[in-house]
Chain A
Amino acid sequence: MSAAQLEAFDLQHSFHETRVVDQVSVTLRPGHLAVVLGPNGSGKTTLLRILSGVLRPAKGNVALAGQPIEKLSRREVARKLAVVPQDTQVPFPFLAREIVAMGRAPSLGPLGRESASDERIVDDALASLGVTELADRSFPTLSGGEKQRVVLARALAQRTDLMLLDEPTAHMDLGHRVHTFEWLTAWIAAAPDIRAALVVTHDLTLAARYADEVLLMHAGRLVAQGSAAEVLTRERIAEVYRVQVQIEHDDQGRPYVIAVRSEIG
């Protein structure tokens, strides 16, 4: 097994005496696109913050490339692991290109001087996410979906082996949502023995379509883990999301979920 890998064992964390992450163990294998599903408040974002090392869990440990993540400097972590946060608000008028160029930060000196090769990496990242024409726009003026694509380009420019993404397609239209998942699978497929990604999303159908592995969270716990077909059953979705669904399968046996009726309230 390759070195660049993320492993978390028996994580536990509480906010104000409420368990938000409870007995969660995760292994991110090279070549895999893992998708974390679960209703609002089920602990997905907290799990991601713990995995990225910005939140120390009350119990359990996270290892990045075989080393405890808290023993690594933020810079060392940032060279191995790119994070796309749920919501990016920048209160200053940075250009989209400047935002993407910040992905080079972990590889630059303290003054942040970019070389020609850094500029090329930034250009490639902009092109790869289809945001080249937004490069000279002020980031705060972009739409939600455009911002998310720019931040994805920043993560790509970081040139890491691992990516953690928190609802990266939440504000995107259908075309860009599908494109983002295609882009992510292609990114992993280009170096399947080292690259891997973990995505939090609410889109069950896209998750089932692209995930190598699905993790379903409910009330801080990992209630199911496996292939989309194994995890996404009618009973389990009804229990976790409180919604009646119908599940169909495509010609490759991948499930897709059709909502029928809410059972909330």
Chain B
Amino acid sequence: MKRPYLLPTLLGLVGVAAMVSLAIGSAEHPTQEIVLGIRLPRVILGACVGAGLATAGALLQALLQNPLADPFVLGISGGAALGGVLALALGWTLGLGPMSVPFFAFAGALIATVLLYTIAGAGGRAPAHSLLLTGVVFNAFASSVIIFLTTAVDLSRVAGMFLYLIGTIRVVDPWVIAVVFALLLFGLGVGMYYAYALNLLAQGDETAAHLGVDVVRVRRVILFATALMIGASVAVSGLIAFVGLIVPHVLRLILGSDHRVLVPSCALVGAAFLMLADTLARTVLAPTEIPVGALTALIGGPVFLVLLRRDLNRWVR
């Protein structure tokens, strides 16, 4: 696609996705109250989560020079989930009210990122595979703690924890939506500012250094921005798999690898994708809702395997 048409096309896609999501629901004759009071916040939040996960995925893939890197693989989502579950299980609020679970989720994402650094790290000079391995191990650890907590705490809290983890877009306090939106914009801004540096970093750390990139600094900033976006997303939606993996992957096949195009495109397509997926999730078995995380995994898993197979064919020639 030619570049001048790209931005209008993607913005149009987001607009259409938003209109469709607002128009469709379980109520046959939706009142203004349902559309604006219930659907609109959920559509906005879905867009934020989708954009955040897809952008974070693209940034991590470039940073680790691995097209299969993903918020989940690296344990950052796992850290965020663990933070939120701890808050729910132990009733921690810090007087933050509706912001308490999001706050702990973000803290969990940051701690996972910092751990990734200090354990695999040498202060940001870690080779990619050590980061990936640390992420895998941290994920296993986080899941174990979560399973332990669900068996250890009072049964009345388990339902809440389960709902938190399964990956649904929850309707939350407007302030939370505002904070999530702000964090997403910040992360996206950082990602776009460093998009060209990410092109260079995708060539490998030493080549990036040979081309003038301060690798350690760029890595730190990008990992922090990624933790912000993932923490914010997981806090309001639990674990939604594959968005951070598939959206960048598909877009790279269509648009090429230049992150100056790829990063903003991931944000827009990720937003449209999750809005539509969430609409499907809440209507297909209405009035029962399917967790959107289960839906993205259901669609995303097979799609990803097909992409991977085709990708391998192309590389092996």
- What residues of chain A have their CB less than 8 Å away from a CB belonging to chain B? 49, 52-54, 73-75, 77-79, 81-83, 85, 88-95, 98-99, 102-103, 105-106, 108, 110-112, 140-141, 158
Contacts and interface: CB of A to CB of B under 8 A. Distances in A.
Contacts of B186: none
Contacts of B65: 91
B206 A141 contact: no
B154 interface: no
B282 to A, nearest CB: 35
A77 B214 CA distance: 11
B211 A105 contact: yes
Report which residue of B199, B200, B213, B314 has the largest number of chain A beta carbons within 10 angstroms of its beta carbon: B199
Contact of B210 (A78, A99, A141): A78
SS class of chain B's interface: helix, strand, loop or mixed?
helix
Contacts of A78: 210-212
Interface in B182-198: 193-197
B2 interface: no
A151 B314 CA distance: 21
B148 interface: no
B37 interface: no
A88 B206 CA distance: 10
Interface string B237-251: 000000000000000
Contacts of A82: 210
Contacts, number: 90
Given A110-B193, A110-B196, A140-B315, A91 B211 contact: no
Nearest to A81: B210
Contacts of A108: 196
Given A92-B257, A110-B197, A85 B207 contact: yes
Contact of A105 (B61, B196, B206, B315): B196
Nearest to B61: A92
Interface in B62-113: 62, 65-67
B170 interface: no
Contact of A90 (B194, B202, B209, B252): B202
A95 B61 CA distance: 18
B252 A73 contact: no
Interface residues of B, number: 33
Nearest to A94: B257
A111 B257 contact: no
Contacts of B256: 93-95, 98
Report which residue of B209, B211, B252, B256 has the largest number of chain A beta carbons within 10 angstroms of its beta carbon: B211
A93 B257 contact: yes
Contact of A112 (B199, B203, B314): B199
25 contacts: A52-B210, A54-B210, A73-B212, A74-B209, A79-B212, A85-B207, A85-B210, A88-B203, A88-B207, A92-B67, A92-B202, A92-B257, A93-B252, A93-B257, A94-B199, A94-B256, A98-B257, A102-B200, A102-B203, A106-B211, A110-B193, A110-B197, A112-B199, A112-B260, A158-B211
B173 interface: no
Contacts of B206: 49, 54, 85
Contact of A102 (B62, B67, B199): B199
A25 B138 CA distance: 45
B297 to A, nearest CB: 24
Contacts of B61: 92
Nearest to A107: B212
Interface string B36-80: 000000000000000000000000011001110000000000000
B66 A141 contact: no
B204 A141 contact: no
